[in-house]
Structure 1
Amino acid sequence: MKTIVTTAGLLLLAGFAAHATTASAATCATTVQANDAMQYNTRVISVPASCKQFAVTLKHTGQLPVTVMGHNLVVTKTADMAGVGADGMKAGAAANYVKAGDTRVIAASKLVGGGQSTVVNIPVAKLKAGESYSFFCSFPGHSSMMRGTLSLTK
């Protein structure tokens, strides 16, 4: 019995291999959308413990400028969220509403306005199993609506 390998068969196999590679890489990244109504499109981010870094792309799907409706994504222990937010407000817009050198901040993105996006890398080694983490927008007045939980998963 002869095995005949066609060009179409090879392309199909190559496509499966590429998809498998893409799917593996995608597990250490996600996208969170924010809008002009002060909302994230998700309230939960799961970070696999197998990742060294976890990349979150923050995409502002609205139209308002950063000075009016800027959004960022800040990751802290849940217990630290209020203090980080209060200190961030004091730090001001030039500091992306995140106090410089704040050791309670695990990761923080820059502020983005409508149509803009940014990437924040979360160092997974700073997360511990069983600990309660949150992500939120530290733009003044936004954290009451723009918040969610972040967890380390197996």
Structure 2
Amino acid sequence: MNKKVKISMVMLMGALAITSCGKKETTPTDDQTEVCEPTGEGETPAVSNVIVIEGNDQMQFDKTELHAVAGKPITLTLKHVGQTPKVAMGHNVVILQEGTDEAAFAAKAITAKDTDYIPASEKASIVAHTKLLGGGEEDTIEFTIDKKGTYNFLCTFPGHFAMMKGVLIVE
């Protein structure tokens, strides 16, 4: 190769390297789900009455702290993002009244297989609950909590309570 071709090749490669570097464009999404993370040090989390929570095949919710505004309808969607059927890895979200003993509730729920692990005897302890879901399914419920406070939530499928629980803070 002669000197002019080599110089031209080096210049072309340099130009390509420079133009390929830089800011990548991203497309905005229309997803309006709740973000429950602080926006900066010392700031409070965003509060939205539209809540999406995911459960997976590793017996985990993607959020353990939810926030909502008192006195306004709350729309909660549970998405089971795993693949395992509900007979082996079912998930639900049960929101309990303040002061309810979670462990005692979960112990009663284990015996309520016929009602998808929602014990009829504990109806007064439940604010709201989703259906029991298998992998790939989702359920959306709507309810209102008028009183500000902290409400525990859990999955009542046998053995899941230990890992799948959190709090709904109503402000």
TM-score of the aligned structures, taking structure 1 as reference length: 0.74
Aligned pair in 2 of structure 1 residues 78, 60: CA closer, same or farther (>3 Å)?
farther
Separation of aligned partners in 2, 1:79 and 1:105: 9
Long gaps (5+) in structure 2: 1-29, 34-46
CA positional deviation for 1:87: 1.6
The aligned residue for residue 88 of structure 2 is 68
Residue 103 (structure 1) aligns with: 124
Q: CA RMSD in A?
A: 2.1
Q: 2:134 aligns with which of 113, 121, 124?
A: 113
Deviations 1:100-138 (A, max 9, x none): 26100111111000000001223212xx22x43111100
In the alignment, the residues of structure 2 paired with residue 85 and residue 139 of structure 1 have an alpha-carbon distance, to the nearest angstrom, of 9
| Identity percentage of aligned residues | 33
Q: 3-state DSSP class of the match of 2:79?
A: strand
Contact 1:84 1:98 in 2 (8 A): no
For residue 53 of structure 2, what is the aligned residue in structure 1?
Answer: 32
For 1:1-154, list aligned pairs within 5 A. Answer: 27-51=48-72, 53-76=73-96, 77=98, 79-92=100-113, 94-100=114-120, 102-125=123-146, 128-129=147-148, 131-153=149-171
Calculate the TM-score normalised by the size of structure 2. Answer: 0.67
Is the 1:80–1:104 Cα contact (8 Å) retained in structure 2? no
Shift of residue 49 of structure 1? 1.6
- Aligned equivalent of 2:10: none
Quote the offset at 1:80 in angstroms. Answer: 2.7
Aligned AA (2:82): G
- Note if contact 1:78-1:132 (Cα within 8 Å) is conserved in structure 2: no
Greater RCO structure (CA 8 Å; 6+ sep):
1
After superposition, the C-alpha distances for 1:59-101 in whole angstroms (9 at most, x for unaligned) are 0000000000000000013533222212211111x31201126
List runs of 5+ in structure 1 lacking aligned partners.
1-18
For 1:120 and 1:84, locate their aligned partners in 2 and report how far apart those are by CA, in whole Å: 21
Q: 1:123 to 1:84 in 2, by over 3 A?
A: farther
Tell me, in whole angstroms, the C-alpha distance in 1 between the residues paired with 2:165 and 2:156: 10
More helix by share: 1
- Which one has a bigger Cα radius of gyration? 2
